[in-house]
Structure 1
Amino acid sequence: MFATPNALRTLLAAGLLSVATFGPALAADDELTMFKDPNCGCCGKWAEHMRANGFRVKEVATREMDAVKHEAGVPQALASCHTAKVGGYIVEGHVPAADVKRMLAQKPAITGLSAPGMPLGSPGMEGPYAAERYDVVSFDSAGKRAVFARH
């Protein structure tokens, strides 16, 4: 059975309306703002990893990283070199893009994720040395922490 030209126009209009209505909401989760010290090289490498995995990354260089982390609610024990905001969450340090995507898909009741310190072999910290095993930790505003992923 073939659709009439009017039916095709109606379907096309409905499709464009749904893209206009829902497209921006879906795309907002891939917009990531990363705050980093202007002299940090590994932060830029992490941003490249995120871009390679479909995120749009805005890099903001600042010498006020302690203030950024404090305002974002990052526990001192979970601190790393850069702090990012994406989809209403905080991402601290060298968290793999797959973990960020999982968080954004599952939408857990947390403040964010952290890869504490600067684990060797994590995204942005690759090199000729052996990769470390490390945990990505979720955290919330009440201080609750849990292992989100192991690498």
Structure 2
Amino acid sequence: MTHPTHPVLLARALPRRALLAAALAATAAGALATLPRRASAQAAPAAAGTPVEIWKDPSCGCCQDWVDHLRAHGFVPTVHETGNTAVRKRLGLPDRLGSCHTALVGGYLLEGHVPAADVQRLLREKPQALGLAVPGMPIGSPGMDGAIYRGRRDAYDVLLVARDGNTRVFTHYAAQAGKGAA
């Protein structure tokens, strides 16, 4: 007798319990087969190969340190050494949120020393927004965290900027005393 391979013949040849067990096993095997791919996709950096376009002043060292921070986290920066005031205005960011460099990534604006982890979160969550801003130049933020500060970090907020210019806190970073601080 030949072994039935057609689904209808197979169903007739197997008792219901065996058929149910086979279906459950196939479903479980299919689900388990996808787990390693899902886990590795989640473990991969969200920024891997993500292009980011940056405008900064050519003489700004902290801006270059921020570019290096993004690069170290998998972003691929293209830098325009033309200053950022005109592009910030063109993109609609209010002056009160300004800082020393402006960037575009994934359709979002970045202003100032935004940590790469927050950029990755922004790209993952895709909120309806203009982008993220860290106004001013807070000590301890990426690019403002050089050896001269000895590990000190001032408290600062990464702001989610709505298209109308309103903001809300996206991430808060608490102050942290540096080495040798009293």
TM-score class, shorter-chain normalisation, is 0.7 to 0.9
CA deviation map 1:56-79 (0-9, x unaligned): 00111004x221110111111110
What does the per-residue CA deviation read over 1:82-106, in whole Å, with 9 as the maximum and x for residues that have no partner?
Answer: 0000000000010000000000000
1:59-70 alignment runs, 5 A limit: 59-63=79-83, 65-70=84-89
Q: Give 2:12's aligned residue.
A: none
Rg larger in structure: 2
Quote the offset at 1:143 in angstroms: 2.1
Shift of 1:29: 7.5
The SS at the match of 1:99 is helix
Partner of residue 38 from structure 1, selected from 58, 78, 86: 58
The superposition leaves residues 12-51 of structure 1 with CA deviations (integer Å, 9 ceiling, x where unpaired) of xxxxxxxxxxxxxx98981000000111111110000000
Indicate how the Cα distance of structure 1 residues 27 and 121 shifts in structure 2: closer, same or farther if over 3 A, else same.
Answer: closer
- Alignment length (residue pairs): 125
Match of 2:112 among 93, 97, 100: 93
TM-score normalized with structure 1 length: 0.78
1:137: which partner in 2?
159
Instruction: Considering Cα pairs closer than 8 Å and 6+ residues apart, tell me whether 1 or 2 has the greater RCO.
Output: 1
C-alpha contact (below 8 Å) 2:52/2:75 kept by paired residues? yes
- What is the TM-score with the length of structure 2 in the denominator? 0.65
Q: 2-side partners of 1:61 and 1:50: how far apart? A: 17
Q: Which amino acid aligns with 2:63?
A: C
Show the counterpart of 1:115.
Answer: 134
Q: CA RMSD in A?
A: 1.7
> How has the CA–CA distance of structure 1 residues 42 and 139 changed in structure 2, closer, same or farther, with 3 Å as cutoff?
same
Which structure 2 residue ranges, 5 or more long, are not aligned? 1-45, 174-182
What stretches of structure 1 move > 4 A for 4+ residues in a row?
26-29
Choose from 91, 94, 107 the match for 1:75. Answer: 94
Structure 1, unaligned runs of 5 or more:
1-25
Q: Secondary structure at the match of 2:142?
A: coil
CA distance in 1, matches of 2:48, 2:68: 19
Opposite residue 82 of structure 1, the aligned amino acid is H
Q: Which residue of 1 aligns with 2:73?
A: 53
Deviation at 1:110, TM superposition (A): 0.3
Change (3 A) 1:27 1:123: closer
